Structure 1
Amino acid sequence: MVVFALAAASGLWLVVVSPSLDIQATYDLNLAAKQMLNGESFPPEILDGIAAKSAPVLEAQPCNFLGFQDLAIIRSAQLENAIVANDSNAADRLSSQASDAAKKSLVCNPMSVVSWTILAWVEFLQNDDTPRLRSLLDMSFRAGPFEGWSLLRRVELQLHILPTLDNSSIEQLKRQINWLIARGLVEVPAQLYLSAGPQQQAYLRNLLAESPEEVQKRAEQIVWNSGGNIALPLARQRGSRPWN
């Protein structure tokens, strides 16, 4: 009787505790993903632990689109860590895992802008500029053109592949940058200008030249303070630096 009672108690503990552990795993996953979308970062070992605990839980919840979206966010960060560490084997594995999580999210929520953006980011990391990348960026824009994290990633990618964009995609890029400028976020195009190539710089300069005077002055100040130079019609004309 004692043995039976212990066995019954053990079974009850598993029934009660296992769902609690599952809930904690998905809670940690969601919290970390939200913070990462807001610009926070986590040490690689933390990301590895969150992914290891939450991935098996989500496999039992095939239409938990938010959970798979969150997992895709974690996997994409792990992928970037693997690339920085020059670990090609881990990068290949995490590319597949990030794409898989994003696709599972889209099965039940085709309008997940984050998942479309992650698929585009992974495609870029694997293959650079491809027709598939441009298609994924278009789907990301259509799903949510002005959602913070996705917008910033998309603008960065579209600028990088600017020479191959069609007119529709160039118009998308213009709308997104103008949206940022209109909301007082001129720092974004100004910082992108600093690291851009000549064609991308010319494109950004032309867009900024169409903005109000205070925006042009702010953009010029940011670029100058960061060691660069940009000539805008309504901003201070400083001349070029010796190294520009």
Structure 2
Amino acid sequence: MRAPLLLLGLVGVLWFYATLPSIWLAAPVRDVTAQILSDDRFKSGTLSKLVAQIAVRPSLMVEPSDFVRGEALILLRTSEEMIGRKSPEDADRKVEAATDKVKYSLSVNPTDAFLWLMLYSTAISRDGLDFRNIKYLDQSYVIAPFEGWIVLRRNRVGLALFQSLSEATQQNVLTEFGAMINSGFIDDAAMNLEGVGWAERDRLLTTLERANEIPREAFARRLARDGVKAIVPGVEIDQRSWR
């Protein structure tokens, strides 16, 4: 009876030492992940210090899926910051390591729409516009076509290569644009329409037929202030009053 108890105790001790580092690192990783998702800026050295702490964790450390996701996003952010500041070889190695970590995180949680978007962004930063990588963006839309907090990054990306997307993904991009306005992201939607989405302006404006009246009028006023001549469905704006 004593031997099984000793074995159980040993397992308990090993489990404790395996989980302790993840508990210790969980809070800073979680906080930094939230800042990355909000596109916040970091003080110099903040991310590098955390990356160093993560790198020396025990090999047997238990890694919850949110920790794996956080590490992937942190490595992505640091690799992005190194582009242009390090040699191309060093930057490529960092991007490759970050990409591998993103793929590993997706193997743990394949329904993470944001990471699929980040995988696409990383792929084009490394390989250029390779149409084989569009599948990552497609997957992001398949998993979460109306994910509000992803919209601000993803819609701009989708519009930039709109003609290369499948018909289903094009429709998701258009619907996402209308959802941006309905959610009050007027300035971001205006920049998308006036910038990367200008070639598709007629189709984008058509999506506003189902938008609520107040944000639709706000969007029309914003376009008028910018001097953009565009017909927003159901809204009449005197262009002269905004010059």
**TM-score class, shorter:** 0.7 to 0.9
Q: What is the RMSD computed on CA atoms of the aligned residues?
A: 3.2
Matched, 1:109 2:109: yes
Is 1:98 paired with 2:102? Answer: no
Question: Displacement of 1:56 after TM fit?
Answer: 4.0
- How many residues matched? 226
What do residues 74-132 of structure 1 show as CA deviations (whole Å, max 9, x unaligned)?
12222321235475334312211221111111222221223222211111222343333
Q: Which residue in 1 is equivalent to 2:71?
A: 71
Quick one: distance in 2 between partners of 1:140 and 1:59?
31
> Which 10-residue stretch deviates more, 16-25 or 87-96?
16-25
* Contact 2:151–2:176 (8 Å) recurs in 1: yes
Could you list the runs of 5+ residues in structure 1 that have no partner in the other structure?
A: 1-15
The aligned amino acid for 1:120 is Y
- Give me the whole-angstrom Cα distance separating, in 2, the residues matched to 1:80 and 1:202: 34
Task: Calculate the TM-score normalised by the size of structure 1.
Answer: 0.76
CA apart distance, 1:162: 0.8
Identity %: 20
Equivalence for 1:168: 168
Change (3 A) 1:237 1:117: same
Q: Distance in 1 between matches of 2:62 and 2:166?
A: 37
The residue type equivalent to 1:159 in the other structure is L
Q: Aligned equivalents of 2:223 and 2:50: distance in 1? A: 39
Alignment of 1:205-224 (within 5 A): 205-208=205-208, 211-224=211-224
Amino acid at match of 1:68: V
Which residue does 2:228 correspond to in 1? Answer: 229
CA gap 1:42/1:193 in 2 versus in 1, 3 angstroms: same
Deviation at 1:229, TM superposition (A): 1.6
Q: Once structures 1 and 2 are overlaid, which stretch shifts more, 176-185 or 161-170?
A: 176-185
1:138–1:169 contact (8 Å) kept in structure 2: yes
Match of 1:120 in 2: 120
The alignment status of 1:42 with 2:77, answered yes or no, reads no
1:194 to 1:232, Cα distance in 2 relative to 1, 3 A: same
| In 1, Cα distance between equivalents of 2:148 and 2:59 | 28
Report which stretch shifted further, 90-99 or 196-205. Answer: 196-205
What is the deviation of 1:151? 3.1
Q: 1:121-170, CA deviations, whole angstroms, 9 ceiling, x for partnerless residues?
A: 11122234333332111211222233344333221211110121121111
Deviates more, 1:204-213 or 1:69-78: 204-213
Distance, in Å, in 1 between the alignment partners of 2:231 and 2:77 is 37
Equivalent position of 1:3 in the other structure: none
Q: CA 1:222/1:86 → structure 2, altered by over 3 Å: closer, same or farther?
A: farther
- For 2:115 and 2:78, how far apart are their aligned partners in 1? 16
Alpha-carbon distance in structure 1 between the residues aligned to 2:29 and 2:55: 9
My pick for the range that moved more, 67-76 or 78-87, is 78-87
| Whole-Å separation in 2 of the counterparts to 1:62 and 1:88 | 34
Can you give the 5+ residue segments of structure 2 that lack an aligned partner in the other structure? 1-15
Q: Is the 8 A contact 1:63 1:105 kept in 2?
A: no
Any idea what SS the aligned residue of 1:57 has? coil
Residue type matched to 2:239 in 1? R
Distance 1:136 1:17, change over 3 A: closer
The answer for the alignment partner of 1:147 in structure 2 is 147
Kindly state the Cα deviation for residue 224 of structure 1 after the two structures are TM-superposed: 4.5
- Contact 1:33-1:70 at 8 Å conserved across structures: yes
* 1:40-74 Cα distance to aligned partner (Å, 9 max, x none): 22134111111221244385447532212111211
